[in-house]
Amino acid sequence: MNSIPVVTVTQINTYIKSLIDGDLNLASVFVVGEISNFTNHYRTGHFYFTLKDENSAIKAVMFRSSAQRLKFMPENGMRVILRGRVSVFERDGQYQLYVDDMQPDGAGALNVAFEQLKAKLEAQGLFDASRKKPVPEFPSRVGVITSPTGAAVRDILNVLSRRFPLAKVVFHPVQVQGVYAAQQVADAIGLFNRYNAADVLIVGRGGGSIEDLWAFNEEKVALAVSRSDIPVISAVGHETDFTICDFVADLRAPTPSAAAELAVPDWREQRAYASGLLQHAASLIKQNIAEQKNIVNYYSQSRFLRNPLEPVEIGRQTLDSLFNRLNSAQNLNLADAKSRFSASCAKLDALSPLKVLSRGYAAVYSGGKIIDSAEKADMDKNITVRFTDGEIECKPIGKKLTI
């Protein structure tokens, strides 16, 4: 009886792996399906997910070296086309797809990446109108960030020199496409802000495919624009081209030439505007002078200006009238007072003791007090007898009372 060989689990898995790895049909496959159970292993950078269709599912893994080349982030429910190989993970005895490349099924990878980053930055508020800074009306320094060899820089410089030659152009050359383009653009924006080297920045390039313009869809450029204290005008591609930079910038221009027009005023228009203001001011001055002349003419025909002493004469007449009335009233009051004074004097004269004395009567005093009866006289004191023409000192020698 032949003995039956005994093998280990590892040997079986290794054998199956060798069979699958040796099948050329599975060495390079393109598979379409829908992503589910997606996991972004941030520590290692690997992607793990399940690819499924209506009836089946297969495990899949995309290692960091391949994942970092993707322009978009895979999501659950996303339908994709994968390129890779089928092999076995020996430890678990599980066959799976090892993905080398991934493309969205239908929309391109860059379009998906664009929409994903747009949604992310919009949720962070980087597109809000409240964040937009106004472009200065008369900048003295215009910063330009673009390629030194493209048509965009020539268009920008021509427009700036034609429209507003007073502005100084500060040019920072950068790559506008390729692996290093986004970093150079972001660094240039930071450099302008660090040294406050411009009043407004123009960032952009000429037209091209979505791949050519992709540097301006990178998150690092969007963040640099959002952090800029200097107002940024985005001028990427043609009028129909839109980039993430356009949404974050303070102002979007359809073309680089249009960006230059938005950055500075036209000195000819400003001169015409100033000339118009001068003409308007001159017209207002003439109108004001004419109105003042009319006022002067009106008052020059007035009675006051024709006879300026007339108010004085009228005032003098009024004063004379008031004086006469006052004098007349005073005379009347004085006459009345004299009359009343005379009457009072007559009454006083009639009541005066001197008047009585003049008729032969005398007044008797003792100790400075009048004695109006003999009974009140003190026989031990002298008495004074006052006549109209003098006084006599007397000593009483006797008193006779009459009843």
Structural domains in the chain, CATH included, are 9-114 (2.40.50.140), 138-265 (3.40.50.261), 356-394 (no CATH)
pLDDT on residue 80: 85
Among 135, 134, 117, which residue's Cα sits nearest to residue 126?
A: 117
235 φ/ψ angles, rounded to the nearest 5 degrees: -135, 75
Task: Indicate the burial class of 62 (C-beta count within 10 angstroms; 0-12, 13-18, 19 or more).
Answer: buried
Q: What is the pTM of this model?
A: 0.54
In the chain, the amino acid numbered 333 is: N
CB 70 within 8 A of CB 102: yes
272-331 confidence digits (pLDDT tens):
888 888 888 988 999 999 899 888 888 777 776 677 777 788 888 888 888 888 888 888
To the nearest 10°, the Cα dihedral for 346, 351, 353, 358?
60
Angstrom CA distances, 228 to 28, 186, 236, 253, stand at: 47, 10, 18, 18
Per DSSP (E only), the strands in 213-279 are 232-236, 251-252
Residue 111 has a CB neighbour count (10 Å cut-off) of 14
CA distance 272 to 281: 14
CA distance 47 to 18: 25
Residue segments in the chain with a per-residue pLDDT below the cut of 50: none
pLDDT on residue 2: 62
Task: Indicate the burial class of 48 (C-beta count within 10 angstroms; 0-12, 13-18, 19 or more).
Answer: middle
pLDDT on residue 357: 63
Instruction: Say whether 96 sits in a helix, a strand or coil.
Output: strand
Task: Indicate the burial class of 59 (C-beta count within 10 angstroms; 0-12, 13-18, 19 or more).
Answer: middle
Structure tokens at 194: 């660090």
Task: Indicate the burial class of 233 (C-beta count within 10 angstroms; 0-12, 13-18, 19 or more).
Answer: buried
In the chain, the amino acid numbered 125 is: G
CB 166 within 8 A of CB 140: yes
3-state secondary structure labels for all residues of 118-151: HHHHHHCCCCCHHHCCCCCCCCCEEEEEECCCCH
Instruction: Say whether 146 sits in a helix, a strand or coil.
Output: strand
231-284 confidence digits (pLDDT tens):
999 999 888 878 999 999 999 999 999 999 999 999 888 888 888 888 889 889
Is the dihedral angle over the CA atoms 74, 76, 78, 81 positive or is it negative? Answer: positive
CA distance 191 to 186: 9
Task: Indicate the burial class of 58 (C-beta count within 10 angstroms; 0-12, 13-18, 19 or more).
Answer: middle
Q: ∠ CA(274), CA(275), CA(277), 5° rounding?
A: 65
pLDDT on residue 356: 67
CA distance 305 to 391: 82
β-pair type (94-104, 79-89): antiparallel
pLDDT on residue 192: 97
Q: What percent of the chain has pLDDT over 70?
A: 96
Instruction: Say whether 242 sits in a helix, a strand or coil.
Output: coil
* DSSP 8-state code for residue 2: P
CA distance 88 to 96: 6
Among 85, 117, 310, which residue's Cα sits nearest to residue 217?
A: 117
Q: Alpha carbon 74 to chain centroid distance?
A: 43
pLDDT on residue 109: 66
pLDDT on residue 399: 81
Among 253, 120, 123, 145, which residue's Cα sits nearest to residue 197?
A: 145
Helix or strand (DSSP H, E) at 111 = helix 109-123
